[in-house]
Structure 1
């Protein structure tokens, strides 16, 4: 794997570190298996990054389990193992979208581990910068069913036009009652030491963070969603494990996690 796909291994290594903690706030038993299955060099995570990632992971876990949706779409699913590790209610159908190379690697490890999804899992090999809506529909996505959408760690890798296209597509495919969760880093953090360090490590893997847009909440409101915003440091306190004191509070607080609910009106797009 290369580029943004390789960063999925990096994130998996942080999830594996969290899973090994006795005070873990989320648990991904497949993360260590993904890391062990590759001979690629994975850069070490910056200090505090695993703790930060644990909070983000827990946020999405809670969002999905509380969404009440029987249809779930995980955009840029990477090596996320929620289809296997979360206690899904009966009848949930979960679509995982990502590049072919990362999903092929993921399927190899899942098969070797002999694990079974706790929901009905459908994988869709697609580049999210292309017409992924058609591929999702061809895989059996129901446009009339309320959907829980997740875009974890995705927008940061997209240009502003690509972000707009993705958000527009999610809106157009969402039936009334759908919910959407994603994270985004404010550009105010661009020059902080820790973010510069993270950007350098990501570039070493052949990928780039864009950090190009600052008002996703404004877009959501303008397009029929009602949105709430959470910040990682406050969530960490809520989960009973505040971020380490040595972390740069400005950088940690720059990442916003959005939860949005769609008002009962569908776009005519697509």
Structure 2
């Protein structure tokens, strides 16, 4: 299996852990099926599942304010098309590598999952012309869109990241919204973060980790941007982070929402 699929399996396994909790912040039937079908999944370091639960809930809440189109960039094994209460007029596009989406479709079929919106799968490498692939499948850049890039920017080179932001901006009508996360330079000095990053890199990924300021880029292009951090979000969700987690390390990840007026 491709290295990126290994990280997708890893994320799914942490979502399955959260789904099994009585006080869960999200449910995810696909994640449970992924774990059952996988031969082996690398164990997550302490605190990773707690972090993933907060990040997942953040994006779920972002998408609760619905717009006619939703684009999930690097969708992986994300199951939001099936588990969120969409309106029937929402069209959701999932973009990711063909081999990963092929695996996902097999799992979806085996579980009998039915999307709660119009779901459009777009097999594409995001380093290619994915805007053209979206257009071929019915995406309308004149319609307001909610974009999410969950755990994506850390895997892109600066050139690829700028190209992605350029494309999102060019394809966004007024009223569009964009949520993403990134790690600032302080993450490089936190032992717990470094351990997690090394585990991810051991799966064969080209993880960059920290990136230049994407919020600043969007602001310069007319977007309004708000930034949250995991510890404060965790308190707001009624799930304060465990004492063993390093608050400074958790704060190194910025979760951002932006709107194009």
Length-normalised TM-score, structure 1: 0.95
The Cα offsets for residues 139-186 of structure 1, whole Å up to 9 and x where unpaired, read as 110111000000000001111111111001000000111000001111
* 2:25 counterpart residue number: 25
Aligned partners of 1:214 and 1:167: how far apart in 2? 12
Q: Any idea what SS the aligned residue of 2:141 has?
A: coil
Give unmatched runs, 5+ long, in structure 2. none
- SS of residue in 2 equivalent to 1:42: coil
Residue matched to 2:169:
171
**1:212 shift after superposition:** 4.0
Shift of 1:90: 2.1
Contact persistence 1:199–1:208 (CA under 8 A): no
Deviates more, 1:1-10 or 1:90-99: 1-10
- Report the Cα distance in structure 1 between the residues aligned to 2:222 and 2:173, rounded to whole angstroms: 12
Whole-angstrom CA distance in 2 between matches of 1:72 and 1:104: 20
Q: Where do residues 150-189 of structure 1 align in structure 2 (5 Å cutoff)?
A: 150-189=148-187
Which residue matches 1:125? 123
Query: Secondary structure in 2 aligned to 1:199?
Result: helix
**Partner in structure 2 of residue 46 of structure 1:** 45
Alpha-carbon distance in structure 1 between the residues aligned to 2:218 and 2:242: 32
Once the two structures are TM-superposed, the CA of residue 130 in structure 1 deviates from its matched residue by 1.2
* RMSD (CA atoms): 0.9
User: Is the CA contact (8 Å cut-off) linking 1:3 and 1:205 kept in structure 2?
Assistant: yes
Contact 1:160 1:212 in 2 (8 A): no
- State how far apart, in whole Å, the 2-side matches of 1:47 and 1:38 are: 21
Partner of 1:145: 143
Runs of 4+ in structure 1 displaced over 4 angstroms?
none
**Structure 1: which 5+ runs fail to align?**
264-270
The DSSP-based 3-state class of the residue aligned with 2:248 is helix
Q: Tell me if 1:61 matches 2:60.
A: yes
Per the alignment, residue 113 of structure 1 pairs with 111
Q: Give the deviation of 1:231 after TM superposition.
A: 0.4
State the shift of 1:49 in Å: 0.6
Aligned equivalent of 2:92: 94
Identify which range, 229-238 or 201-210, moves more after superposition.
201-210
Kept in 2: contact 1:75–1:96 (CA 8 A): yes
TM-score by length of 2: 0.98
Taking the aligned partners of 1:38 and 1:10, their CA distance within structure 2 comes to 10
2:50, 2:241 within 8 Å by CA — same for their partners in 1?
Answer: yes
